Chain A
């Protein structure tokens, strides 16, 4: 089968750094997305990785290892507004999106 594994919930402190991990098992691979979804709102795009390595975009970075079927989202200098769910999404060889259930990130003062 095809699935995405990511932690259900994480807690971190304002100003700190947090890493949200995602492992994927899909038939083939054509990239991996991260989306952010605040409670009651639409998911919004954060990143798309198709090559191995780290891509940095401001306070957020996304890493991909295709050989390990592994990605992580790194959030630095956490702010209260970063409290949200983070969705990991893989694109398989048929260009279908395989969605994770999301990681709910709780930021505490």
Chain B
């Protein structure tokens, strides 16, 4: 399944590093999402972009900075992260923007903050 791709798949970074996660969807969808998935916890929605405009920011710390240059690409810029930010970061896209459409997920980036 290559509808939604994410790079890198794995990332180890120090607390003072700056890195970026990339997501690309090849489905012509209108909405894109960033989620955080920690072990044994529900997915946490971080950001939503509809038609390239950010429509939701779920009280995410400013050390996470999203960017959506066009409807096919989504970035998550990371800086001065904390060890508790270690998790799987999932990108998803959907055709519709009201959350009643199926979301298609990328394989995720496994992030470890040392």
Contact = CB atoms under 8 A, between A and B. Distances in A.
B99 A97 contact: yes
Given A41-B107, A42-B105, A95 B40 contact: no
Contact of B103 (A8, A45, A98): A45
10 contacts: A30-B99, A45-B104, A95-B100, A97-B99, A98-B42, A99-B42, A99-B45, A100-B42, A101-B40, A102-B42
Given A4-B42, A97-B45, 8 more contacts: A43-B103, A45-B102, A45-B104, A97-B99, A99-B45, A101-B41, A101-B42, A102-B42
Interface residues of B, number: 18
Main secondary structure of the interface of B (DSSP, over half): loop
Contacts, number: 45
A44 B106 CA distance: 10
Nearest to A96: B99
Contact of B99 (A4, A8, A91): A91
Contacts of A99: 42-43, 45
Given A87-B43, A99-B42, A42 B108 contact: yes
A108 B53 CA distance: 46
B105 A43 contact: yes
List the 4 closest pairs (A to B, CB-CB), nearest first: A42-B105, A99-B42, A45-B102, A99-B43
